Amino acid sequence: MYLNHTNPKRPLLTVTSRKRPDQRDDVMGRCGPEGGLIMASHSITHVPVMAEHALELLRVRPNGVYVDATAGGGGHSLCIARRLDGGVLVALDRDPEAVASVKKRLADFPCAKVFKANYSEIDEVLARAAIETVDGVLFDLGVSSMQLEAARRGFSFQADGPLDMRMDTSAPVDAATWLANAGRAEIIRALRDFGDVGPAARIADKIIERRQKNRMKRTMDLAEAVADALDFVSGTPAEVRTVFQAVRMVVNEELKHLEAGLRAARALLAPAGRIVVITFHSGEDRMVKQLFRGWTRPEILLSADGRVIEKRAPLMRQVTRKPVLPGPDETERNPRSKSAKMRVVERMAPETMK
């Protein structure tokens, strides 16, 4: 499929159904007996990012209780489940298709419990499972390769489809609805905050111009709006990808749910339990960094006149002072990991809080 543009000098924006670099037929992302990632011939497209590093930092014990808060393609969940012997894995995702897939993938692991839920509902899910504390929680944020591959889900500009982008397909507002009703200032703010889009105003104007003509229903409508706004750019503008990212994050209220999920996870951690977060966007990483930094500082209680009443030791400590980045082997095998950053915090054991 090709996109027509008003600028005759611009090459046509080509959209095909070709596999992206992170979708290799020889990658299934399974784990070996000790939990290490191994490769197998299969058409499954999702490759878990930094799986071995994540499990190493999560410190999975055979009898521990762990939560994969973003089960997605099930890669990380499978890695955790293979390391358990007497332990429990709770895997959740708000995407019903992901939940169905993960249930099949973990069918041979009685230790695994799979739920359709947002990660902001971790506390409610664990209450239903009669679990009071956990030894680790993993968040692998962003959109999965399987979601990107399905044109009908509307996450990608690589193939034409309905402008949906809902991770939970039962949610009331999809991308087309949001773009049809959002004001100019709201669109500009979203593009800047969630996509770091510089020419946000130009793109917002094109979106509004097209929706007035009832031409903001398909993924190609949005991609063309971005390309038309930047018709001075040769080829496909990089902003197409970041605009899709921004709209997706708004539609799914990702940062709002992330903060709630992280706070819920902290409250559920057992002593020495850890939270591992893999981010792919500066806004996500900034929120995680700020929350973790605040949690790892002493709490100072002040009187009404500003005197220090009490200084409490922090409940958490930072395991990684700086984010863990993927190595060259990882990025070569899985290009999706290039923008990944992983941060880890640990709940302090009582004897270390003095």
Give the chain's domains with CATH numbers.
Answer: 30-145+255-352 (3.40.50.150), 172-251 (1.10.150.170)
Percent pLDDT > 70 in the chain is 85
Q: pLDDT per residue over 206-240, tens digit each? A: 999 999 999 999 999 999 999 999 988 877 788 99
The pLDDT value recorded for residue 195 is 93
Q: pLDDT per residue over 155-180, tens digit each? A: 999 889 999 999 999 999 999 999 99
| Banded model confidence at residue 1, pLDDT cuts 50, 70, 90 | very low
The pLDDT value recorded for residue 346 is 98
Average pLDDT over the chain, rounded to whole? 86
Tell me the one-letter amino acid at 260.
A
> In this model, does residue 306 exceed pLDDT 60?
yes
> In this model, does residue 28 exceed pLDDT 70?
no
Give the Cα separation of 296 and 291 in Å (integer).
Answer: 9
For residue 347, what are the β-bridge partners? Answer: 316
Cβ atoms 34, 322 nearer than 8 A: no
pTM of the predicted model, to two decimals? 0.84
The stretch 297-312 carries a mean pLDDT of 83
> In this model, does residue 18 exceed pLDDT 60?
no
Give the Cα separation of 136 and 55 in Å (integer).
Answer: 10
> In this model, does residue 35 exceed pLDDT 90?
no
Question: Could you tell me the sign of the dihedral formed by the alpha carbons of 33, 35, 41, 45, in that order?
Answer: positive
Structure token digits, residue 193: 């905050």
Q: pLDDT per residue over 65-93, tens digit each? A: 999 999 998 999 999 999 999 999 999 99
The pLDDT value recorded for residue 351 is 54
Residues 6+ apart with CB under 8 A from 102: 71, 72, 73, 74, 77, 91, 93, 114
The pLDDT value recorded for residue 3 is 52
Q: pLDDT per residue over 103-129, tens digit each? A: 999 999 999 999 999 999 999 999 999
The pLDDT value recorded for residue 16 is 37
